[in-house]
Amino acid sequence: MSNITYTTLEVSDIDVGVNQVRVMYTNDTGFFCEREIYVPRKEDGSVDEDLYHETLENHRKSIEYKIKVGAIKCTTLTPEEIALKEKLESGE
């Protein structure tokens, strides 16, 4: 099985007050998962960038392991589903 990668917001794109972000996990064989993760914040309300990236990486490893042992299954999207998902995400 190939390695899982993720796509989500950059720290600079996370608005003040946002507590969760959606993370999309994919690999080159077409597996696809979406999860929500909490945005770690410092006392001043800013995003804790180091902890945010650490959390993303830990979740990626967890998804990869769970797929490997069969604890979760991800969807293989068809080209039509990918196009629809991209259209919905772009707001068209």
Interval 10-58: pLDDT, tens: 898 999 889 999 888 887 776 677 888 999 999 999 999 999 999 999 9
Summarised one tens digit per residue, pLDDT across range 50-90 is: 999 999 999 989 888 887 888 877 676 677 777 776 766 66
Structural domain count, the chain: 1
CA distance 46 to 19: 11
- pLDDT score for 58: 93
Smallest CA-to-CA distance from 34 within 61, 57, 63 is with 63
User: What integer pLDDT is reported at residue 39 of this predicted model?
Assistant: 95
What are the two backbone dihedrals, phi and then psi, of residue 39, each rounded to the nearest 5 degrees? Answer: -90, 115
> In terms of pTM, does the model score above 0.85?
no
Q: State residue 1's pLDDT score.
A: 45
Domain that holds residue 40: 5-90
pLDDT of residue 49: 95
User: What does the pLDDT read at residue 91?
Assistant: 59
